[in-house]
Amino acid sequence: MRIRTLTKMALLTAAALILGYLDSLIPLVPSVPGIKLGLSNLVLLYAVFYMRPHETVLLMLLKVGLSSLLFGNAVGGLYALAGGVLSVTGMLLLKRIPNVSPIPVSTAGGILHIVGQCAVGCVLISYGPVLFYAPWLFLCGTVTGILLGVCARATFYGIERYERRRGA
């Protein structure tokens, strides 16, 4: 891995950790525990659109591993890993569609993240509580996926505009 890529990965990992920590401080739905905006997924969306697939997967693994180590626990890490693997896989597959917008990519990522977490929940807890909780999770995953996709689209537009001006 080149120094430039390594530096970029380190900065993106740090940004994901900071956004993840800030995200944990914002109670999105106080009556429903565990629901977050997923701000650190903005960093993963950037990676999906502007980096190579293996770098994106590595970034997700770093984000999940370090955030579990610093802010969470092993069980939370299992939930995050399952959600992250499905989410990043789905987003990378959708990104292969020509001219796809970040909004559907992010929305699919949010939904797939919930699918992964529910699968782990079914194994660790049981089907009953997970199935009761799942509709709320899917609704929130869809809404936050759309919101993050809109933010990412605006950010990517700014990045591309900057790159065009810098290259001119």
Per-residue confidence (pLDDT) for residue 144, from 0 to 100: 92
Return the C-alpha torsion angle 1, 15, 65, 82, nearest 10: -100
Q: Where are the domains of the chain?
A: 3-167
pTM for the structure as a whole: 0.89
Looking at residue 126, its pLDDT comes to: 79
3-state secondary structure of 72: coil
Level-2 CATH architecture, domain 3-167: Orthogonal Bundle (1.10)
- Give the pLDDT of the chain (168 residues) as one tens digit per residue: 799 999 999 999 999 999 999 988 887 766 666 678 889 999 999 999 999 999 999 999 999 999 999 987 888 889 999 999 999 999 999 999 999 999 999 999 999 999 998 899 888 887 777 788 888 888 988 999 999 999 999 999 998 888 888 875
Residue 37 backbone dihedrals phi, psi, to 5 degrees: -70, -35
